[in-house]
Amino acid sequence: MAQPQQELVFAPLGGVGEIGMNLSIYGLGDGRTRSWLAVDLGVSFATEEQLPGIDLIFPDIRFLEQERKNLAGLVLTHAHEDHYGAVLDLLPKLKCPVYATPFTAALLAAKRAGEPGAPEIPVTIVQLGSRFKVGPFDVELVSMAHSIPESNALIIRTPCGAVLHTGDWKIDPTPILGDVTDEKKLRALGEEGCLALVGDSTNAVREGRSPSEADVGKTIFELIKNARGRVAVTTFASNVARLRTVAEAARAADREVVVVGRAMERVVQIARELGYLDGVPDFRPVDAYGYLPPNKVVALCTGSQGEARAALARIAEDQHPEVTLSRGDTVIFSARTIPGNEKAVGRIINGLIDQGITVITDRTHMVHVSGHPRRDELTELIGWVKPKILIPVHGEALHLSEHAKLARSLGIKEVVQCRNGDLLRIAEGRAAIIDEVPSGRLYKDGSILVEADARTVADRKRLSFAGSVSVALAITDKGQLAADPELDLIGIPERDRAGGLISEAVEDAVLQTFESLPRKRRGDPDAVAEAIRRAVRAAVNERWGKKPMCHVHVLSV
């Protein structure tokens, strides 16, 4: 009997058509049974307006749960939240081996320690540039420059061929810290033969090359050197190269660095342990801040996204116990504002300016660079690895389609654009979408995971928009009201345009509706509740122009 042909497939379960919650899976088998390799398990962040009460969005992993016994392992490319932020919540459902490099593993462990009750996650630590087996997959790490230490691309070798999964990357010849993008290994892959490139599309709309971390360094040196009062710099804690730049600029200006914010302290400790801050003088604890003269201090703060509980927001509102700023001081926002956070960041910036503090952002100064490749870098990578197939990932629709167009213009014949949940055949045969797997989103609501289509969040949205009315009625066995109805109006204006009380209109609607019901129907609590609910919503709508939620409780007494 002939061996069934081996097939290599790929499916994004998150991160395609959106920026965030990356989760990719590769499958190897005969089409009936497959072994799976998962790459990354990230989160997205929700804004209060879109999803009230929801902080985090996770990819739906129903499919991997079904396939759990065939899931060989999860490899984390790097420790950004959109790549590893869902591990603590979702891994217990998968229970597969996890592979990560030392910095990623250390950040995961620190995060776990900071969340009481978080599960133990055993991680196999793999070294930069190493090669290891995950089930039938032969995985090799390729160091890539990015805005966090230890970002890795993966070469995934299979009997069907080799795939390059880029993860997040850029080309930066002077990254300040860590390895440069490993051009030699990527060119060697091109020689060996690269079947498919699955790559970062974030900056595919941007011409040219992304500036270097060293360019940011120069600006920050100048700004700190020329500042007169205190300087506070806020950035992502995980951007250790940036922390290092700030520390060196502070030293050159004869200032000491104070670290403010728990996330920042955590990363600094890990970076010290792993040698990423070698040669940088020790930072001072936050309580030293008050004793240092204004021109002798730089505060490195969390809160670059305007997070209300982070250091910078508290400093800006003069609520921080140790750290204060005043007229003549400078705050540098050394980070991009993630879409959705603009309002929160804007509030802090305006508040600081109102207090006479100078605010520097990347809109006027090169105090931040992206960690993702622009078009010339994408072109260069394609030239190095010469893939047969290109699959754009890590981007919104526009980014993906620009990446696809660019690849086609460079002569790549098989460019496949897919969406979360598409199952794509990489080999054998022409690359194509051949099937669909279950995919979607989960919300973290408080400490509970809920399905995105569950009613809870939709209900909360409606509540925030139009309030609610609750009505309680007690009906005797003769079909009479035992007492006046109890009403409770929440989030509804007290009076209508003409000055009439809306609560009275509601009460009238309840009583009239009840009286108009035939005696027989009054014995059916569900029918009573539904008739009254409709009448109440219509009555409020007539006076307010909005229909509230309405709950009617009927008691038979």
User: Which DSSP letter does residue 410 get?
Assistant: T
Q: Return the range that interacts with Zn ion (CB under 5 A); candidates 63-71, 78-86, 208-216, 260-268.
A: 78-86
Contact assessment for residue 510 and residue 535, using Cβ atoms and an 8 Å cutoff: yes
For residues 410 and 205, give the distance between their C-alpha atoms in angstroms, rounded to a whole number.
Answer: 16
Question: Is 18 near Zn ion (CB under 5 A)?
Answer: no
**Is 372 one of the binding residues for Zn ion (CB under 5 A)?**
no
Give the nearest distance from C-beta 110 to Zn ion in angstroms. Answer: 18
Residue 80 near Zn ion by CB under 5 A: yes
Indicate the burial class of 452 (C-beta count within 10 angstroms; 0-12, 13-18, 19 or more).
middle
Q: Does 168 bind Zn ion (CB under 5 A)?
A: yes
Q: Least Å distance between CB 93 and Zn ion?
A: 22
CA distance 21 to 74: 15
For Zn ion, the closer of residues 83 and 185 by Cβ is: 83
CA 273 to chain centre: 27
Pairing mode, if any, of strands 161-165 and 196-200? parallel
**Candidates 74-82, 278-286, 354-362, 400-408; binding stretch for Zn ion (CB under 5 A):** 74-82
What the block records as the tokens of 277 is 């801050």
Q: Specify the amino acid at residue 452.
A: A
- Minimum CB distance to Zn ion, residue 371 (Å): 6
> Strand pairing partners for 170?
145
User: Dmax over Cα atoms in the chain, in whole Å?
Assistant: 89
Backbone torsions φ then ψ of 409, nearest 5 degrees: -65, -20
DSSP letter for each residue of 267-278: HHHHHHHTTTTT
Residues paired with 331 in a beta bridge: 232, 359
Least Cβ distance, residue 351 to Zn ion (angstroms): 29
Which residue number, 56 or 227, has a Cβ lying nearer to Zn ion?
A: 56
- Please confirm whether the linkage preceding 486 is cis (ω < 30° from 0): no
Nearer to Zn ion (CB atom), residue 82 or residue 256? 82
Helix or strand (DSSP H, E) at 490: strand 486-490
User: Least distance to Zn ion from the beta carbon of 21, Å?
Assistant: 10
| Closest CB to Zn ion among residues 158, 239 | 239
Interacting span for Zn ion (CB under 5 A) from 59-67, 80-88, 411-419, 422-430: 80-88
Half-sphere exposure of 151 (CA within 13 A, CB side): 28
Helices 262-273, 240-252: inter-axial angle, 10-degree rounding: 90
- Count of residues that interact with Zn ion, criterion CB under 5 A: 3
Stretch that binds Zn ion, among 79-87, 99-107, 124-132, 505-513 (CB under 5 A): 79-87
Judged by beta carbon, residue 168 or residue 307, the one nearer Zn ion is 168
Restricting to residues 20-39, which ones interact with Zn ion according to CB under 5 A? none
Give the nearest distance from C-beta 350 to Zn ion in angstroms.
29
Question: Which range touches Zn ion (CB under 5 A), out of 94-102, 164-172, 280-288, 340-348?
Answer: 164-172
Which residues partner with 140 through β-bridges?
Answer: 131, 155
Q: At closest approach, how far in Å is the CB of 450 from Zn ion? A: 25
Under the criterion CB under 5 A, does residue 150 sit at the interface with Zn ion? no
Please say which residue, 34 or 372, places its beta carbon nearer to Zn ion: 372
Helix H, strand E, coil C: the string for 331-360 is EEECCCCCCCCHHHHHHHHHHHHHCCCEEE
Q: CB-wise, 320 or 336, nearer to Zn ion?
A: 336
With contacts defined by CB under 5 A, name the span among 128-136, 161-169, 263-271, 533-541 that binds Zn ion. Answer: 161-169
Residue among 82 and 402 whose Cβ is closer to Zn ion: 82
CA-to-CA dists, residue 241 to 100, 170, 427, 504, angstroms: 20, 14, 39, 64
Size of the chain, expressed as the number of residues it contains: 557
DSSP state of 69: G
Two tokens at 438? 């279950």
Burial 531-550 (b: 16+ CB within 10 A, else e): bbbebbbebbeebbeebbbb
Considering the complex, what minimum distance in angstroms separates the CB of residue 88 from Zn ion? 18
Minimal distance, residue 462 CB to Zn ion, in Å: 33
- Structure letter (DSSP) for residue 303: -
Rule CB under 5 A: choose which of 60, 67, 82, 89 binds Zn ion: 82
Minimum CB distance to Zn ion, residue 238 (Å): 9
Q: Closest distance between Zn ion and the C-beta of residue 410, in Å?
A: 23
> Closer to Zn ion at the Cβ: 82 or 422?
82
CB of 15 to Zn ion, least distance (A): 8
Strand, helix or coil at 511?
A: helix
Compare residues 148 and 466 and give the one whose CB is closer to Zn ion.
148
Which of 88/472 has CB closer to Zn ion? 88
Shortest distance, position 61 Cβ to Zn ion, whole Å: 18
18 or 168: whose CB is closer to Zn ion?
168
Kindly tell me which of 77 and 245 has the beta carbon lying closer to Zn ion: 77
Q: Which residue, among 161, 127, 187, 163, has the nearest Cα to 39 in the 3D structure?
A: 163
Token reading at 307: 């997070």
How far is residue 229's CA from residue 532's CA, in Å, rounded to a whole number? 66
Q: What whole-number distance in Å separates Cα of residue 534 and Cα of residue 548?
A: 11
Shortest CB 526 distance to Zn ion, Å: 50
Cβ-based nearer residue to Zn ion, 40 or 67:
40
According to DSSP, the β-strands at 23-29 and 34-39 are antiparallel
Q: Which stretch binds Zn ion (CB under 5 A): 53-61, 121-129, 167-175, 232-240?
A: 167-175
Residues at the site binding Zn ion, with contacts judged by CB under 5 A: 80, 82, 168
